[in-house]
């Protein structure tokens, strides 16, 4: 029997809805400051903001997953189960990394230093995860393959065979 035949679609929907509502609830809990102390040996106060960014990313990923689930409900096959299960999780981590990259100055974007601005960027990272991964791929190609134009014509994608820039 196909995994999606009996309760598969309902399970995927419930899973994404749980991530969506759970992320909102966790962001509210972290923002309220009512949760103190350690969780699994980690001081919550040190990583409160990063956890909020992660849940904002998971919220965006779950929302996008729910949207795709709605749009492609009748076309859903078992090959997409993994995508739906992993989407909120990878968006959680990607949102945190995005904020770290912005704070480090590696990714440049004119965003305020407010918590709302950073949560918005984290949410957009989760919602637009595919575009985020394209940006990270281009960034790593520039850093590690030398495909960016660094002004001296070096690299594979420089300015055309090592000629001086015009």
pLDDT digit string, tens, across residues 129-141: 999 899 889 888 8
With cut-offs at 50, 70 and 90, classify the pLDDT of residue 159: very low
Residue 74 above 80 pLDDT? no
82 in any annotated domain? yes
What is the average pLDDT across 16-38? 87
Q: Determine the structural domain holding residue 83 and report its residue range.
A: 8-136
Is the residue at 1 inside a domain?
no
Q: What is the pLDDT of residue 151?
A: 44
**Does residue 146 lie within any of the structural domains?**
no
Domain count, the chain: 1
- Whether 97 maps to a domain, the answer reads yes
Q: Render the chain in DSSP notation, one character per residue.
A: --TTTTTHHHHHHHHHHHHHHHHHHHHHHHHHT---SEETTEEHHHHHHHHHHHHHHHHHHHHHHHHHHHHTGGG--GGGHHHHHHHHHHHHHHHHHHHHHHHHTSS-----SSHHHHHHHHHHHHHTHHHHHHHHHHHHIIIII--S--SS--STTSSSSSPPP-
Q: Can you give the pLDDT at residue 23?
A: 93
Residue 62 lies in a domain: yes
Q: Does residue 91 sit within a domain?
A: yes
Q: Please check whether residue 164 lies inside any domain of the structure.
A: no
């Amino acid at each position: 029997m196909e995994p999606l035949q009996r309760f598969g679609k309902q399970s995927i929907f419930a899973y994404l809805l749980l991530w969506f509502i759970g992320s909102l609830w966790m962001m509210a809990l972290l923002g309220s400051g009512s949760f103190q102390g350690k969780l699994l040996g980690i001081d919550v106060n040190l990583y409160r903001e990063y956890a909020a960014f992660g849940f904002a990313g998971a919220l965006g990923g779950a929302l996008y997953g729910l949207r795709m689930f709605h749009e492609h409900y009748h076309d859903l096959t078992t090959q997409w189960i993994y995508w739906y299960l992993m989407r909120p999780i990878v968006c959680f981590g990607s949102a945190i990394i995005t904020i770290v990259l912005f704070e480090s100055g590696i990714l440049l974007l004119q965003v305020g230093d407010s918590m709302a601005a950073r949560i918005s960027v984290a949410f957009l990272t989760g919602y637009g995860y595919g575009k985020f991964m394209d940006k990270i791929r281009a960034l790593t190609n520039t850093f590690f393959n030398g495909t960016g134009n660094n002004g001296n014509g070096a690299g594979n994608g420089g300015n055309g065979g090592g000629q001086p820039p015009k």
